[in-house]
Amino acid sequence: MKLKIIAYTILVFLSVLIQSTLGDSIKIYGVKPNITIVLIIIVALLRNNTEGAIVGFFCGLMQDAVSGTVIGFYALMGLYLGFIIGSINKRLYRENVLIAIFLTFVSTFVYEYSVYFFSTFLRGPLHFVDPIKNIILIEAVYNSVISIFIFIIVIKLHIRFEEYDKNSRRY
């Protein structure tokens, strides 16, 4: 349990830090990837919905603190992202990296469009094609590529956690 908390804290902390400082220097076509949501997706996919929701919540809360107009918006988005992906992972062959890439693509699409929707719908005209064409599609592809690296890191942790759980169950 302690091991899990420490590992997740370091992961969340690092991803937020890298995203907020170096995010701008790894832009492609003016769009930066979102490492934190990739982390949420992969953790939720490999582990379960509780851990996904907790990691999502804290990632979102950090994002609210660093860059956000109100506290709680990204926390809520992260919470649901982690929970939903964690809930469907039993039906997937989750230790396959292709599943992770595909799921990252789809959920980035849904997640970013919801962020766009909730931050725009009361303020001005909503568009469908423009934000998808200019930002979301590029970001989804970029995130999918990054998901491979994060998958490699998290699956190592996942195996370690599983072993640890088995050992502790024996006694």
Partner 1 sequence: MLRPFKNKKFILLFVTIVLLVVMGISSIQNNKINYVGDIFSTILSPFQRFINFTDKKINDFFAHFEDINKLREENESLKKTVVELVYENEKLLELKIKNDELRRTLDIKDQYNNMEMVGANIIAKDMGNWFDIFIIDRGTKDGIANDYPIVTSRGLVGRVMQSDLMSSKVIAIIDEESSISARLSKTSDIVVVKGDRKLKDQGLCIMSYIPADADVSAGDKVETSGVGGIYPKGIVIGRVKEVRQRTNELDRYAIIEPSVDFKRLEEVFILKEKDINNNETSEENK
Is 66 one of the binding residues for partner 1 (CB under 8 A)? yes
Residue 61: left (phi > 0), alpha (psi -120 to 50), or beta? alpha
Show the tokens assigned to 130.
Answer: 């423009």
Q: Work out whether 147 is an interface residue with partner 1 (CB under 8 A).
A: no
- Closest Cα to residue 59, out of 101, 103, 109, 111? 111
Establish how many alpha carbons lie within 13 A of residue 98's alpha carbon, considering only the half-sphere containing its beta carbon: 1
Q: Is 113 in the site for partner 1 (CB under 8 A)?
A: no
Q: Are 151 and 42 in contact (CB under 8 A)?
A: yes
Q: Select from 4, 7, 31, 157 the one that contacts partner 1 (CB under 8 A).
A: 31
The DSSP symbol for 90 reads: G
- How many residues at the interface with partner 1, by CB under 8 A? 48
User: CB under 8 A: which stretch of 25-33, 95-103, 145-153, 155-163 binds partner 1?
Assistant: 25-33
d(CA 160, CA 6) in angstroms, rounded, equals 13
Listed ranges 66-74, 90-98, 146-154, 157-165: which one lies at the site for partner 1 (CB under 8 A)? 66-74
Contact positions vs partner 1 (CB under 8 A): 16-25, 30-32, 34, 36, 49-50, 53, 57, 61-73, 75-76, 79, 83, 112, 115-116, 119-120, 123-124, 130-131, 134-135, 139
